[in-house]
Structure 1
Amino acid sequence: MTADLPVVDTHVHFWDRRRTDLEYGWLDGDGAEATLGDLDGLRAVRYSVPELRADTRMHGVTQVVHMSAATSGHLAETRWLQGLGDETGWPDAIVAGVDLAAPDAAATLDRHREHDRLRGVRDMRDGSVLGDPAFRRGYARLAGTGLVLCHSVGVDHVAAAVALVRAVPDVVLCVDQSGMPESRSPEYLRTWRAALGTLAAEPNVVVKISSLGVHDHDWTPASRRPWIRALVDAFGPDRCLYGSNWPVERLYSGYGDALGVFRAAIGDLSGAEQAAVLAGNARRVFRLEPVPAGP
């Protein structure tokens, strides 16, 4: 049944390296290759809406959420993405890079919020930032805005994340990139499952099932399925979102390969639950209007 259900992809990246107001340091080998692998396959001048539509056109993707990809010029990135969305329809939502601990965080948030596709903010620093008092003050500023924080947290920083979400129950924390599991050993799976289970006990936390290829470049359906199922079991079908981490994950698979494994892994859920995981939850969390059905 899942093959017929539409998808909201909550983790895509666009770039245009011809722009002088944006920088993508990770694409220039700024430490990212140690984790992601050989990036030569990604170093195109542009990856944007036409390229993503080509990659996803046979796979039922109807809406996309853009995760900040620039390493500087985040406000310029939001402005650019808003223009792309207005012109092409994609991205439907923007999650912008914002330093919530910065002294000017409030003013920066206000400038991003001038763009009506903004739905959240992202911080790429490790989970130690979640306990920083300045960051916590910035996080509290999200209350009442409807903006989501996307952060991978990591297994070592769950306690700080729990304290954060309890302090500001009005804000949704989206555990990004599956909590970024860094190993595929059975021992690590148990540790990671326990950590994510602790976060799942908090009602204002959701999880994005994405980026599982980052630390499993030679993945197979058998190696990926336990991680998908562990998150669905911990958070339930009403708090799991699908994300491809595209085109980064193109280094390790085709779009249909990764999505096909995901669809199969949730295939025992009810039809309504599958629809929620693939699209409905993302529409709720990121405040997206459903795409009208075709004729």
Structure 2
Amino acid sequence: MSSPTPLRLDAHQHFWRYRAADYPWIGEPEADLRRDFVPQDLRPLLDAAGLDGCIAVQARVGEQETDALLDMAQHYPWIFGVVGWVDLCNPTLEQHLERWRDRPRLKGFRHQIQDEPRPATFMADPNFSRGLQHLQQQGYVYEVLIRCADLDAATTMCQRHDRHHLVLDHLGKPDIANGPAGWAEHLAPLAALPHVSCKLSGLLTEAGPDQRSAHALRPFIELALELFGAERLMFGSDWPVCLLAGEYADTCQLLEQTLGHLSPSEHQAIWGGTAQRVYHLEGNCP
């Protein structure tokens, strides 16, 4: 059996039709995001970057988000996978998942754990744990969206759930201004878990205006490479959120400038191979 054709992918971006009530996390500092961002806006950016397609990730709470992203993926085959939303604490989770059983582009789920009042408590909730266990049994990826202060709690959670792939978004949102040492110390135990991968995404928006350069961010990327290895890292633009810090091309150039020394196989992993494997995208390739 031949291997699937390698894809070059943006493994983390969002689409939305903006309604203020749906996106409470978009505050006044993010006012430029208060408009629609749809597939037709992204496709030229992917083409310019030489990318075959993307994985669309949820940005609002509600099962209607999952439905909307899946509908987009049905119309735009270059949306190779969808990471949707579902309430893992719901005792009828199994029935809710059943409604998407015939939607093969649904690859996983995510919740904005970082926005919970007590993220560590949320991740330790037995109801959440039961839901995550069921997701893994069904073969769905779960993405972990937290800030660096909750890396230890995320490690404990991921240690308990090793039946399928887990993905850490945005390198765990390191505190760029404080340097990489403390962040890396707390990231290392999580990175040591072989079923956990990590997205090289979101760094530009986490950095302050004077830190948005390859020189300033190189230590974080190199430490992630050391801890995870290229085979568990994947590029993600975090578009359109990345537009708060620069252009789409800037997210690509950051990695190109910092990872130029890697081998062709390592480049292939980060620019699509890892995502293709973790999200089982082989069956979606055109």
- TM-score under structure 1 length normalisation: 0.85
Question: Structure 2: which 5+ runs fail to align?
Answer: 1-5
Opposite residue 89 of structure 1, the aligned amino acid is P
Alignment match, 1:76: 64
Kept after mapping to 2: 8 A contact 1:26/1:32: no
The amino acid across from 1:239 in the alignment is R
Determine if the alignment matches structure 1 residue 247 to structure 2 residue 248: no
Gap change, CA 1:104 and 1:283, over 3 Å in 2: same
1:33 equivalent in structure 2: 27
Higher helix share: 2
8 Å CA contact retained: 1:78, 1:112: no
Distance 1:176-1:257 versus aligned 2 partners, 3 A rule: same
Identical counterparts, % of pairs: 28
Q: 4+ residue stretches of structure 1 with deviation over 4 A?
A: none
**Which residue is equivalent to 1:271?**
264
**Match in the other structure for 2:40:** 50
Tell me the residue number matched to 2:175. Answer: 182
Q: 1:7 Cα shift?
A: 2.7
**1:130 & 1:249 partners in 2: Cα distance?**
27
Change (3 A) 1:160 1:252: closer
Is residue 2:89 matched to residue 1:101? yes
CA contact (8 A) 1:49 1:90 kept: no
Is the 8 Å Cα contact of residues 10 and 244 (structure 1) preserved in structure 2? yes
Contact 1:12 1:66 in 2 (8 A): yes
Structure 2 matches for 1:57-68, cutoff 5 A?
57-68=47-58
The answer as to whether partners of 1:155 and 1:191 remain within 8 angstroms in 2 is no
Deviates more, 1:97-106 or 1:118-127: 97-106
Tell me if structure 2 keeps the 8 A contact 1:79–1:115: no
Q: Deviations over 1:232-255 (max 9, x none)?
A: 111011100111100111121111
Partners of 1:158 and 1:203 lie apart in 2 by 16
Distance 1:241 1:117 in 2: 19
1:269 offset after TM fit, Å?
1.1
Structure 1 unaligned regions, length at least 5? 18-22
| 1:121 equivalent in structure 2 | 109
Distance 1:195 1:280 in 2: 26
Q: How many Å apart are 1:24 and its aligned residue?
A: 5.3
Deviates more, 1:156-165 or 1:59-68: 156-165
Superposed CA RMSD: 2.1
Q: 1:110 to 1:159 in 2, by over 3 A?
A: farther
Q: Kindly provide the CA deviation profile for residues 171-217 of structure 1, in whole angstroms up to 9, marking residues without a partner as x.
A: 2110111101134223xx21111111110111111111111123214
How many residues are aligned here?
Answer: 273
Structure 1 Cα separation of the partners of residues 218 and 21 of structure 2? 32
Match of 2:228 in 1: 235
CA distance in 2, matches of 1:184, 1:220: 13
